[in-house]
Structure 1
Amino acid sequence: MTGIIILAAGSSSRLGQPKQNLQYKGKTLLQHAVDEALDSGCSPVIVVLGANADKIKFGTDGVTVLHNPDWQEGMASSIRLGVTEIMKHTVDSVIVMLCDQPFVDGNLLKTLKLQWQEVGKPIVACSYKGTVGVPVLFDSSLFPELLKLQGQEGAKKVLSAYADEIAEVEFEEGSTDIDTAENYHDLISRLNVN
Structure 2
Amino acid sequence: MTEVIILAAGESSRLGFPKQTLLYRGKTLLELAVEAGIKSKCSEVMVVLGASAKTIEMGIQHYGVNILVNPNWTDGMASSIIWGLNSFKDKTGIDNAVIMLCDQPFVSSFIIDKLIDKHQETNKKIIACEYDKTIGVPALFDRSVFPELLLLKGQEGAKKILAKYPDDVATIPFETGSVDIDTISDYQAFLNTFK
Q: Is the shorter-chain TM-score for this pair beyond 0.5, marking a shared fold?
A: yes
CA distance in 2, matches of 1:17, 1:132: 28
The CA RMSD over aligned residues, in Å, is 1.0
The match for 1:135 among 134, 138, 146 is: 138
Q: Give CA-to-partner distance per residue, 1:49-102, whole Å, 9 cap, x none.
A: 001112213233331100001101100000000011131432100000000000
CA distance in 2, matches of 1:62, 1:40: 15
Q: What secondary structure sits across from 2:129 in the alignment?
A: strand
Match of 2:149 in 1: 146
The match for 1:85 among 83, 87, 93 is: 87
Gaps of 5+ in 1: none
Residue pair 1:76, 1:149 contacting (<8 A) in 2 also: yes
CA distance in 2, matches of 1:55, 1:179: 19
1:14-53 alignment runs, 5 A limit: 14-53=14-53
Identity of aligned residues (%): 52
CA distance in 2, matches of 1:189, 1:53: 29
Q: What secondary structure sits across from 1:86 in the alignment?
A: coil
- Out of 56-65 and 92-101, give the one that drifted further: 56-65
Residue pair 1:44, 1:86 contacting (<8 A) in 2 also: no
The match for 2:64 among 38, 51, 62 is: 62
CA distance in 1, matches of 2:87, 2:74: 19
CA distance in 1, matches of 2:160, 2:31: 28
CA distance in 1, matches of 2:83, 2:41: 22
The number of equivalent residue pairs is 192
Residue pair 1:10, 1:71 contacting (<8 A) in 2 also: yes
Q: What secondary structure sits across from 1:94 in the alignment?
A: strand
Match of 2:179 in 1: 176
Q: What secondary structure sits across from 1:101 in the alignment?
A: coil
Q: Give CA-to-partner distance per residue, 1:153-186, whole Å, 9 cap, x none.
A: 0011111111111001011111100111111111
Task: Give every structure 1 segment of 4 or more consecutive aligned residues whose post-TM-superposition deviation is greater than 4 Å.
Answer: none
CA distance in 2, matches of 1:156, 1:84: 19
Deviation of residue 41 (structure 1)?
2.5
Deviation of residue 129 (structure 1)?
1.2
Deviation of residue 24 (structure 1)?
1.0
Residue pair 1:45, 1:62 contacting (<8 A) in 2 also: no
Q: Give CA-to-partner distance per residue, 1:102-146, whole Å, 9 cap, x none.
A: 010000000000000110000000011111100000000001001
Q: Which amino acid aligns with 2:161?
A: V
Q: What secondary structure sits across from 2:114 in the alignment?
A: helix
Q: What secondary structure sits across from 1:97 in the alignment?
A: strand
CA distance in 2, matches of 1:86, 1:105: 23
CA distance in 1, matches of 2:132, 2:28: 26
Match of 2:6 in 1: 6
TM-score (norm 2): 0.95
